Amino acid sequence: MIWNTSRMDYFAADFFQGMGLAMPERYRPIVATKNAGAIMRSDFEAERFAIIISGGGGNGPLFPGYVSRGLADAAVIGAPFAAPNAYTLYETGKQVGLEKGVLFLYNNFAGDYLNNDMAAEFLQMDGIPVESVLVTDDIASAVGEERSARCGRCGIAYLIKMAANCAEAGMSLSETAQALRWANLRLGTLSVYVDFQRNCISYGAGFSGEGAVCSASHMDMPMCAKETCRMLLSDLEPRRGERLYVLVNRLRNTSYADGYIFANLLHGELTQTHSVAQIRVGNFSNIEDVYGFSVTILCADAEQERLLAGTCYTDGFIL
Amino acid sequence: MRTLQVAQLQAALIAAGGLIIESEPLLTELDTAIGDGDHGISMRAGFSALREALGNNQYEDIYALMRDAGLTLVKTMGGASGVIFGTLFIAGYEGVRGRRDMDADALIAFFEAGAASIAKRGRTEPGDKTMLDALLPAVEAMRQQRLETDDAGLVLQAAYAGALQGVENTKAMISRKGRSKNFREKTLGLPDPGAISLSLIFKGMSDSVNGL
C-alpha cells in the first residue's frame, strides 16, 4: 500500500524528487506533471536511441528502479495504479530521445497503450523515430483469448535488459524492437499468493482484483514450487536449444529467506527436465500487498542469450 | 439554419464540465462496482482543469478551442480516460481549423472523427461495453436528426438522446476492455461509467446551446 497523503496528485513528482536527492549519481528527475513524473539516468548520453519504460505508479522498483546503466534510460509513471499521461511521455521522449529516437517499452494495459500510442504520434510529428513494444507475460490473464491480449507483469525486467544490450551492440531501433517482440513470445509469469489465514495458495491472481485461475488448500512449499513450474512450463513449452532464465519476485510481505528457499525448490524442479541458465531472486516489482511470489521464465535460444549477457546492479537487485 | 459560434461551444464545454463534476459521486459508485473506482475522480480532475483553461481564454477559432479542451484532458487525467476523452476533441480539430462556427454537418463530422479515432486507439469494438457504445449511437442519432433539420442545436440534442440509449444498451453487455474486463459477468446489468460520462458531456453541451 501507499500512504495516501494530501499530495497524492504529486505522487510521482515527489517520489522522483526524493530519488534524485538520495541518489544523484544514478537519477535525475526530469518531467513532473499532475499525476505523472519521469526520471532518467544521470549518466545517459544520447549517442543512441533512448529506452523509455512506463506504467502505473506504486509498483516498487517497477519502473524507476530499472533506470540504470545496462537497463532503461528513463522511466515514466502515473498515479498509483494509473498509467502516466501521454503528455509526460511525449515530453520525456523529447528530452531523452531527441537525437536518435525512442523505444517505448511497457506492459499491456489499456491506459498504457493509449497514452504511449498518443505520445508516439506526437513524437513522430516532431520527426523523432519511435518504436513501441508491449509486454504480455502474464500467463493467467486473458485465458481463452489470444496471447497478445495478456497483461504484462515482471517479465519486462528481462526485456529491459535485452533492450539495453541491443542498443549497446549497435542494433537499430527497429531491429531492437523486433528482437524484443520475439523474446516476449517466449516469456511467461505466474503469481502465487499464499494466504496463511485461510490456508490457501492461489495461482494467477492479478493485482487489480482479477481472480486466481486455480487454488489449492495444501500449504506445502515443495508442492507449490512443483505446481508453479508445471503451469509455466505447460504454457511456454521450452524448445530444444532453449535455456531458462528465471526471476523469483518476492511480493511485498514475503520474507527474504523464503525467496531463496522457493528459488532453490524451483531450480530443483526445472533442472529435472530443462537447462536453467540463470535464476535471480529479488524484489523486482512489489505492487501486491500479499505474501507470495511471482515467477518469470524466459526461454532463450543462443541468439537471445547473447542479448542477456552481462550483470546489472541496481539499487535494489541484481539482474 | 442554426450554427454554433466559438463562444457558444466554449460555454457548452464549460457547462458539460460542470455536469461531469456534479456527477462524480454517481460515476465513482458505478466504477467501484465494476472497475477500479477511479473514473469519477479522474473525470472530475480533468473537467475541472478544462473549465479553468476554457474559462480564462478567448479562442480565435474552433480548432484552438477544441485543441485546448482535448490536450487539457490528456494532461490532467491519468490512465485510459485522459486519452479517450481527450481524443473526442482532438481527433476532429484539424477539420475545423480557421472556422468560427459549426453547422450541423461540421458537428457530425467532428464527432464521427472522434468515434473513429477512439475505436482505433482503444482497440475497441462496439459491444465491448465502453464509452464507444454511447458515442456511436449518439453519432447515428445526429445523422438521423440531420435528415429532419439543419439546426445544429437540435442535432446536438439528438446526440444526447442517442447517447442515453447507448448507456441503456451497455447494461446488457459484458466488459471486454480495460480493468473492468476482469469483472466480466459481474458487469452485466450495470451501465458502463465511461458511457454515462459521454452522455453527460452531450447533455451539458446540448442544454447549454439550447438554453435549457
Tens-place pLDDT, residues A257-305: 999 999 999 999 999 999 999 999 999 998 888 999 999 999 999 999 9
**Whole-number percent of chain B with pLDDT over 90:** 76
pLDDT higher than threshold 90 for residue A211: no
Quick check: B84 contacting A, CB < 8 Å? yes
Chain A closest-CA separation from residue B210 CA (Å): 34
**Whole-number percent of chain A with pLDDT over 90:** 81
The single residue listed with the C-alpha cell 452485466 is B188
Q: With an 8 Å Cβ cutoff, are A209 and B83 in contact?
A: no
Q: What is the mean pLDDT of residues B74-99?
A: 91
Residue in chain B closest to A209 (alpha carbons) equals B182
Q: Is the confidence metric ipTM above 0.95 for this complex?
A: no
pLDDT higher than threshold 90 for residue A3: no
Q: What is the mean pLDDT of residues A191-210?
A: 87
Task: Give the whole-angstrom CA distance, residue B201 versus residue B43.
Answer: 11
Q: What is the pLDDT of residue B182?
A: 60
Q: With an 8 Å Cβ cutoff, are B74 and A210 in contact?
A: no
Q: What is the pLDDT of residue B92?
A: 92
Of A210-214, A217-221, B125-129, least confident by mean pLDDT is A210-214
Q: What is the largest CA-CA distance in chain A?
A: 57
Q: What is the mean pLDDT of residues B57-75?
A: 95
Q: What is the pLDDT of residue B180?
A: 60
Q: How confident is the model at residue B183 (pLDDT cuts 50, 70, 90)?
A: low
Q: How confident is the model at residue B145 (pLDDT cuts 50, 70, 90)?
A: very high
Task: Give the whole-angstrom CA distance, residue A169 versus residue A274.
Answer: 29
Q: What is the pLDDT of residue B164?
A: 97
Q: What is the mean pLDDT of residues A209-235?
A: 89
Q: What is the mean pLDDT of residues A40-69?
A: 93
Mean pLDDT in chain B? 92
Q: Which of B36, B83, B179 sits opposite A114 (nearest CB)?
A: B83
Q: With an 8 Å Cβ cutoff, are B182 and A208 in contact?
A: yes
**Whole-number percent of chain A with pLDDT over 70:** 99
C-alpha cell at B22: 456534479
Q: How confident is the model at residue B38 (pLDDT cuts 50, 70, 90)?
A: confident
Quick check: B177 contacting A, CB < 8 Å? yes
Domain A187-306 sits in CATH 3.30.1180.20: yes
| A207 contacts in chain B (CB < 8 Å) | none
Q: How confident is the model at residue B12 (pLDDT cuts 50, 70, 90)?
A: very high
Domain range enclosing B101? 4-209
Task: Give the whole-angstrom CA distance, residue A27 versus residue A63.
Answer: 13
* Among the listed residues A265, A258, A247, the one whose alpha carbon sits nearest the alpha carbon of residue A290: A258
pTM of the model: 0.91
Q: With an 8 Å Cβ cutoff, are A86 and B83 in contact?
A: yes
Residue in chain B closest to A87 (alpha carbons) equals B75
Chain A closest-CA separation from residue B77 CA (Å): 7
Domain count, chain B: 1
What's the CATH code of the domain at B9?
A: 1.25.40.340
C-alpha cell at A115: 497514452
Q: What is the mean pLDDT of residues B16-29?
A: 94
Mean pLDDT in chain A? 94
Q: With an 8 Å Cβ cutoff, are A85 and B178 in contact?
A: no
pLDDT higher than threshold 70 for residue B184: no
Q: With an 8 Å Cβ cutoff, are B78 and A87 in contact?
A: no
Q: What is the pLDDT of residue A61?
A: 94
Residue in chain A closest to B85 (alpha carbons) equals A114
Q: How confident is the model at residue A209 (pLDDT cuts 50, 70, 90)?
A: low
Q: What is the pLDDT of residue B187?
A: 78
Task: Give the whole-angstrom CA distance, residue A300 versus residue A244.
Answer: 6
For residue A191, CA distances in Å to A93, A187, A203, A224 come to 32, 14, 6, 11
Quick check: B192 contacting A, CB < 8 Å? no
A47 phi and psi, to 5 degrees? -90, -5
Q: What is the pLDDT of residue B114?
A: 97
* Among the listed residues A251, A260, A255, the one whose alpha carbon sits nearest the alpha carbon of residue A289: A251
B144 phi and psi, to 5 degrees? -60, -45
Q: What is the mean pLDDT of residues B67-82?
A: 91
Q: Mapping DSSP to helix (H, G, I), strand (E, B) and coil, where does residue B144 land?
A: helix
Q: Which of B75, B177, B183 sits opposite A110 (nearest CB)?
A: B177
Q: Which residues contact B183 (CB under 8 A, 6 or more apart)?
A: A209, B34, B35, B175
| Residue with more model confidence, A208 or A207 | A207
Q: How confident is the model at residue B181 (pLDDT cuts 50, 70, 90)?
A: low
pLDDT higher than threshold 90 for residue B34: no
Residue in chain A closest to B71 (alpha carbons) equals A87
Q: Which class does domain A9-135 fall in?
A: alpha beta
pLDDT higher than threshold 90 for residue A89: yes
Task: Give the whole-angstrom CA distance, residue A139 versus residue A260.
Answer: 23
Q: Which residues contact A319 (CB under 8 A, 6 or more apart)?
A: A71, A157, A158, A161, A280, A282, A284, A311, A312
pLDDT digits (tens, 9 = 90+) for A15-39: 999 999 999 999 999 998 888 999 9
Structural domain boundaries of chain A?
9-135, 187-306
pLDDT higher than threshold 80 for residue B50: yes
| B183 contacts in chain A (CB < 8 Å) | 209
Of B59-68, B167-176, B196-205, least confident by mean pLDDT is B167-176
Q: What is the pLDDT of residue A112?
A: 95
Q: Which residues contact B31 (CB under 8 A, 6 or more apart)?
A: B37, B38, B39, B40, B180, B193
